[in-house]
Amino acid sequence: MGADAAVERGGLLLKRVLAGVPAGENPLTHVEELPERAATVAAWPSWADKPVRAAFGRGGVESPWAHQVAAAEHAHAGRSVVIATGTASGKSLAYQLPVISALTDDPRATSLYLSPTKALGADQLRAVRALDLPELRAASYDGDTPMAERDWVRAYARWVFTNPDMLHRGVLPTHGRWATFFRNLRYVVVDECHAYRGVFGSHVALLLRRLRRVARKYGADPVFVLASATVSDPAASATRLSGVDCAAVTEDCSPRGARTVALWEPPLLDDVAGENGAPVRRSAGAETARILADLVIEGARTLAFVRSRRGAELTALGARRVLSEVDSGLADRVAAYRAGFLPEERRALENALASGELLGVASTNALELGVDIAGLDAVVVAGYPGTLASFWQQAGRAGRAGDGSLVVFVARDDPLDTYLVHHPSAVLDKPIEATVTDPGNPYVLAPQLACAAAELPLTPACLPAFGDGARAVLDDLVAEGVLRKRPAGWYWTSHQRPHFDVDIRGSGGDQIAVVEADSGRMLGTVNPGSACATVHSGAVYLHQGTSYVVDELDLDSGLALVHAENPDWSTSPREVVDIAVLGTIDRQVHQARGGEVTVCLGEVAVTSQVVGYLRRLPSGEVLDQIPLDLPEHTLRTRAVWYTVSENLLTGMGSGQAGLHPAAVPGALHAAEHAAIGLLPLFATCDRWDIGGVSTALHPDTGRPTVFVHDGHPGGAGFADRGHAALVPWLNATRRAIAACECPAGCPSCVQSPKCGNGNEPLDKAGAVAVLSTVLAALTN
Ligand SMILES: [Zn+2]
Ligand SMILES: [Zn+2]
């Protein structure tokens, strides 16, 4: 295929897909042609020895790309570094090169590799072993490592592959047994570091500080090499995560084929009405099934990413149904893929897709990592996967050098998806989302400091690494009798180590275990703060795409018992929520003609009580409302909020026509919903990680107020990020609402699936007016 033909390939596929769109519909909101990019290679660094280069050469790397060398040079020179480039840009080599060189130059040197998942760690270990340099003695040390092997790893392994959970529970508490390893520790590799966000990320940040403290005790000061997806300001995120200053390498010099990226918004349906009479769009899954079928007919090898397992299966089924009318042979070449496949099933699927035996696969996000599928003709992403990093990871499965490909993003009915299809630059330009962590959160800091003190007594000299709030948290721990203060520092007093009581993936407090009653199998855990809303009796609970129904929630024993069932309806809780301001950290007053807007960041107490739930059909129709008798729950966390003086809203004094006072509650409520939907564009969070409260008169502010708060005790950095990015965030919120063509509000703009108030009252036009007023005051 010639270069021009290759470039046109994606456009051609898109044309064929559009040919199947019913007359009168125009789902395409934007098409972008991303040109082919040639590779920029660089010479091997002079310090990389011949045998090391030869090993990479055997693995198929003739000469490295420039960004790999740039990152490796930083690391070799002793500067911690983060490499933040796209999928398949060879980030592994960037850390392998300096680590392997160090291990071959100095026969005593050791290194540590950390990955967020065991599967990724296993893949990376396999890749290192394939280089066939036995002197590296690379070995894994995780929950699956047999006890007999663990002694060998501690004594002899030189490159240990593990994860934060094992570092926390299995390495640092017994650092004395790792003395030789720590004494010679040269590098710490933190792979996929954008995965460490929110509460989990805050725990990992403190865990890395504990790691550095232990290494220093043995006389080592390791260099950190972090690998990240492309995010906003990776140097700052990496520095906050690792606790050491990190340089950033962000220019991707790997080759890439030409890609056509199409943004697609399913049309509103004429004859279906959803909650409160709102219009309904054709579902992203149904739209994706049809696009998948059209691409298969063209012979294009296509992967469709769908959010749930059931959705993936329905999408594959829908595509097969369309195809069976065209050619029954084609229908058999479409399959669904989900989590839980055995490794051999995964390999079989990879091979079938690579050979063209399979043409179309509908998959959950389970396929995102650790699967060897690339170079496809087309990828369809049904619904924003939560972060741009995930989006490009999925889209990156399409295209290879010299060949064009198509990426279609199909919006779901969600304000963030609406915003993205109408603002292509948010998808296609430099990412604006930042990986958010808050290592200063006292709810995270307290258990982490207890673990640190149990590892080695804390001295005043250690404290700066743990942040400004460390001293106050230590004083509390002493007052509670957890630690003892002596002249030399703070000491752990008990014989039992605290590590096993600290769940670094949870948010503090006892988790509620979700257990399948019949088998006794534990499916997962839920935060105590969200248990009443997500696993109340009768709730439909999704786990890895499989549907369960909750039989019983027992808060005292911390158990939710469920059984597998796939009812026609979904459930949504009804909640009464109150918010009280405990303290204000930052307060800015902005004058406007006719009044003022105040913006605050602070600490709040959110009191909520789940009072019932709705059962709802996929069409949006509500079956019934069922009352529940559950206790109140109070969450102390951080929030960002703004108040608007009433005169400014209702327009008195400014001469403009303002909101009718009766419209104010619905306008604020709609503005709150959409703002929650859009915050994940700026902070790597899920809309379920945050919450909001809006009121026409708040007792603590005395004004109409909109709060957006973190969903975790002490906060996870999301409210802080919202405060820092307030103007672009509210701007995007206003645009998302205004871009939706529905008349008076729908799930694509101001309705929220998690509204505790039945999405009432909501005033779409009023929300645009409120946001315009606030933005005018903030920017004048
Ligand atoms: Zn709408
Ligand atoms: Zn609401």
Distance CA 331, CA 350 (A): 18
Distance 668 CA to ligand 1 centre (A): 16
User: What pLDDT is attached to residue 230?
Assistant: 84
Distance 737 CA to ligand 2 centre (A): 15
Distance 757 CA to ligand 2 centre (A): 5
Closest ligand (CA of 278): 1
Distance 298 CA to ligand 1 centre (A): 34
**Cβ–Cβ contacts within 10 Å for residue 78, how many?**
11
User: What pLDDT is attached to residue 117?
Assistant: 83
Distance 745 CA to ligand 1 centre (A): 4
Among candidate residues 669, 690, 662, 695, the one with its CA nearest the CA of residue 760: 669
Distance 638 CA to ligand 2 centre (A): 19
Q: Which helix H or strand E contains 95, and what residues bound it?
A: helix 91-105
Cβ-contact 777, 648 below 8 angstroms: yes
State which residues have CB under 5 angstroms from ligand 2, the bound ion.
Answer: 755, 757
Distance 668 CA to ligand 2 centre (A): 10
Distance, first Cα to last Cα, the chain: 55
Q: Is there a cis peptide before residue 460, judged by omega within 30 degrees of 0?
A: no
Among candidate residues 734, 538, 506, the one with its CA nearest the CA of residue 623: 538
∠ Cα 388 66 222 (to 5°): 80
Beta strand segments in 259-402, E: 259-264, 268-273, 279-281, 302-305, 334-337, 360-363, 378-382
Distance 305 CA to ligand 2 centre (A): 29
Half-sphere exposure of 423 toward its Cβ, with a 13 Å CA cutoff?
Answer: 24
State which residues have CB under 5 angstroms from ligand 1, the bound ion.
Answer: 740, 742, 746, 748-749
Cβ-contact 391, 572 below 8 angstroms: no
pTM, whole model, 2 decimals?
0.83
Distance CA 251, CA 67 (A): 6
Closest ligand (CA of 744): 1
User: What pLDDT is attached to residue 1?
Assistant: 43
Query: Which tokens go with 468?
Result: 């400004």
Distance CA 149, CA 164 (A): 19
pLDDT digits over 379-413, tens only? Answer: 999 999 888 888 988 898 888 767 899 999 999 98
User: What pLDDT is attached to residue 2?
Assistant: 46
Closest ligand (CA of 417): 1
Distance 641 CA to ligand 2 centre (A): 16
Distance 306 CA to ligand 2 centre (A): 26
The percent helix, strand, coil of the chain (3-state, each to 5) is 40, 25, 35
pLDDT digits over 445-492, tens only? Answer: 999 999 999 999 999 999 999 998 899 999 999 999 999 999 999 999
Distance 277 CA to ligand 1 centre (A): 12
Distance 647 CA to ligand 1 centre (A): 28
Closest ligand (CA of 676): 2
Closest ligand (CA of 673): 2
Distance 737 CA to ligand 1 centre (A): 7
User: What pLDDT is attached to residue 503?
Assistant: 82
Tell me whether residue 638 is exposed, middle or buried, using C-beta atoms within 10 angstroms of its C-beta: 0 to 12, 13 to 18, 19 or more. Answer: buried
Residues of the chain falling short of pLDDT 70: 1-7, 338-343, 366-372, 401, 506-510, 544-545, 619-620, 652-657, 687
According to the 3-state scheme, what is the secondary structure of 413-482? Answer: CCHHHHHHHHCHHHHHCCCCCECCCCCCCHHHHHHHHHHHHHHCCECHHHHHHHCCCHHHHHHHHHHCCC
String of b and e for 676-689 (b: at least 16 CB within 10 Å)? bbbbbbbbbbebeb
Closest ligand (CA of 740): 1
User: What pLDDT is attached to residue 565?
Assistant: 93
Closest ligand (CA of 742): 1
∠ Cα 112 42 187 (to 5°): 10
Among candidate residues 588, 591, 579, 539, the one with its CA nearest the CA of residue 560: 539
Distance 756 CA to ligand 2 centre (A): 6
Tell me whether residue 772 is exposed, middle or buried, using C-beta atoms within 10 angstroms of its C-beta: 0 to 12, 13 to 18, 19 or more. Answer: middle
Closest ligand (CA of 745): 1
